[in-house]
Amino acid sequence: MEDHFDAASAKDELYRIRHSLAHVLAQAVLDLKPGATLGFGPPIDDGFYYDFILPEPLSEEDFPAIEKKMKQIIKKGQAFEREELPRDDAFARLEEMGEPYKAEYAQELFDKKGIEQLTFYRNGPFLDMCEGPHVENTRKLPKGAFKLRSLAGAYWRGDSDNVMMTRIYAWAFTTKEELEAHVRAHKEALARDHKKLGKELDFFVIDDDVGKGLPLWLPNGTVIRDELEKLARELEFQGHYQRVATPHLTKVGLYHTSGHLPYYEDSMYPFMELAQQVETEEGTSEVVKETYALKPMNCPHHHKIYAARKRSYRDLPLRLAEYGQVYRFEDSGALSGLLRVRGMCMNDAHIYCTAEQLEDEFLAVMEMHRQVYDILGLDDYYMRFSTWDPEDPKGRDKYVDDPAGWEETQRLVKQAMDRSGLPYVERKGEAAFYGPKIDVQFRTVTGREETASTNQLDFAVPKRFDLTYTAPDGTEKTPYCIHRAPLGTHERFVAFLIEHYGGAFPTWLAPVQVRLITVADRFRPYAHEIADQLHGKFVRVDVDESSERMNKVIRTSTQQKIPNLLIIGEREVEEKTVTLRRYGVREQRTMPVAQFEAELLRTIGARSRGWVADE
């Protein structure tokens, strides 16, 4: 019996193929590596894997031999035979198999989950504890449609306190053509992987002396951060947001008030217990102890800014924005480049408004998303509308207990989404604990689906902070709060953009926007004159000072994905021109320096994804 079983997908033929191939892989490994012990072997999105404890190390150089053995097994036409055994017979069978990890899992299934019997599948000499289903026999497996992919270490049951196993990953599809197409896409994904490009293009580094999941932004990466933040500031200014700044840590009591601690304490950094001597009014001293935490979110601080003075309905909507640094102590096994980190800077804002303003404010937030994505050229996305589940037996632990509040806020969010015209799907049971939310889901060029940003409607936490405003009739009312982050965090969004653009950023986002390359050293004074002129207009420009031949410099600059190269030779110096060579464009253009500067500045100012003169 294996993890990741999905009853719905079990009906799918591809699931059966992948599941059956996992058993074929295990049989092949046991044949080639006698003494190996089995873990789990489930189907996954693009294939399958199987975990082993091996008597000797395995490398990818062993893959051809394993694949050859798998093909031999497939040709034998081994039938997949199902058998169901009660407890005593199941344990006798497991003892016969000599699989202690399977036996351990069986014990859990019988004792904790209360099952009455276990299912086993046999194909040829291979026997596995498995829920199925499988193909009828191995000859039903498509020829040439699987390929061993990679090796990885994996803790038994995903617990770092358990033994480390060797995991063999494989791809599997229904046809050879589908497999080949997937392998090509995978190679493209590897070429665009943000960790690979981040290293090659000097965007960021993660240093063990600083700490896992705490990226250091190098100058090139910081440019991208700054440009995105500049975009956010401009859009927020146009949207009548007010900027604030809050500290990186706070007293833990703030998160008791907000109600976050039951949900977030496990992912927070350990608390800091601080003690200090203070003078009393009587002239003596005493030790006062306080507990502080690195903040995992910005909203409680913004609530305190709202509460700093009395508010009237005339002050609303109040839109507070901050690129705020937060910290979450993610499990080390989950960390992945910039996608999953422990320190992140969030494009955060909180909108405090009345019930009458709520729908329009939420709609304006969604329109800001659309504007951001249009500028960046992102169109492969949809919205996930996450609601509460009133029938969830654990609902009282997961959600604020206010059915009327849930129904009303979900109705308002749905109306706003319908008015926006943006595509969305509803997902019951995935709401935040304090209200419904919209997650923006992107399909990346590397094949993953990622949450780029989240917007949440909070009808509960403002009450916890006693946030109020004076209504027109003089009564005190509690505002609603919209939590929104169109650009998510710098870390996740930059990772997404690195892969989306393949590291070749449009001119306005590129770390180096223009590089001047001279045919000979004697032309460098002219190149520096142009560079100084462009630098004075806030263009990120440099002059190649190397002694390499021009063709090699051009090749190196292209590898660095610099969008605009200016070639300077004798003719350019004499005629006061430049020859523009754009990244990814065959044709070169020679033009007066003034024309190039004007077109460049329009391209940057328009945040164009191409070159304004060509559009």
Which of these ranges, 83-92, 312-321, 357-366, 425-434, has the smallest mean pLDDT? Answer: 425-434
Is 202 within the bounds of a domain?
no
30-57: average pLDDT: 93
State whether 296 and 364 are in the same domain: yes
Which of these ranges, 97-101, 346-350, 465-469, 567-571, has the smallest mean pLDDT? Answer: 97-101
- C-alpha 146/C-alpha 21 separation (Å) is 8
Q: What angle do CA 345, 348, 354 make, to 5 degrees?
A: 170
DSSP per residue over 128-159, as a string? EE------SBGGGSPTT-EEEEEEEEEEGGG-
Is 541 within the bounds of a domain?
yes
454-461: average pLDDT: 88
State whether 310 and 441 are in the same domain: yes
Residue 396 has pLDDT above 70, yes or no: no
State whether 246 and 359 are in the same domain: yes
Q: At what angle do helices 13-32 and 63-75 cross, to 10 degrees?
A: 120
State whether 160 and 18 are in the same domain: yes
- C-alpha 485/C-alpha 76 separation (Å) is 57
Residue (of 550, 553, 448, 536) closest to 496 by Cα position: 448
Among 453, 473, 501, which residue terminates a domain? 501
Residue 8 has pLDDT above 50, yes or no: no
Number of domains the chain is built from:
3
Q: Are 128 and 121 in contact (CB under 8 A)?
A: yes
Q: Are 317 and 361 in contact (CB under 8 A)?
A: yes
Is 195 within the bounds of a domain?
no
Determine what percent of the chain is predicted with pLDDT higher than 70: 97
- The two structure tokens encoding residue 594: 């003034």
Question: Which domain does 557 fall in, by range?
Answer: 514-614
DSSP per residue over 552-567, as a string? HHHHHHHHTT-SEEEE
State whether 336 and 377 are in the same domain: yes
Highest mean pLDDT among 153-157, 305-309, 422-426: 305-309
Residue 395 has pLDDT above 60, yes or no: no
State whether 262 and 240 are in the same domain: yes
- C-alpha 220/C-alpha 343 separation (Å) is 19
The reply to whether omega before 64 is within 30° of 0 (cis) is no
State whether 537 and 463 are in the same domain: no
Q: How confident is the model at residue 447 (pLDDT cuts 50, 70, 90)?
A: low
442-458: average pLDDT: 81
Which of these ranges, 24-33, 264-273, 601-610, has the smallest mean pLDDT? Answer: 264-273
Average pLDDT score over the chain: 91
Residue 11 has pLDDT above 80, yes or no: no
Which of these ranges, 225-239, 283-297, 556-570, 591-605, has the smallest mean pLDDT? Answer: 283-297
CATH of the domain at 532: 3.40.50.800
537-555: average pLDDT: 94
How confident is the model at residue 388, as a pLDDT? Answer: 85
> What are the pLDDT digits (tens) for 314-355?
999 999 999 999 999 988 878 889 999 999 999 999 999 999
pTM of the model: 0.81
Using CB atoms within 10 A of its CB, is residue 581 exposed (0-12), middle (13-18) or buried (19+)?
A: buried
Amino acid identity, position 522: R
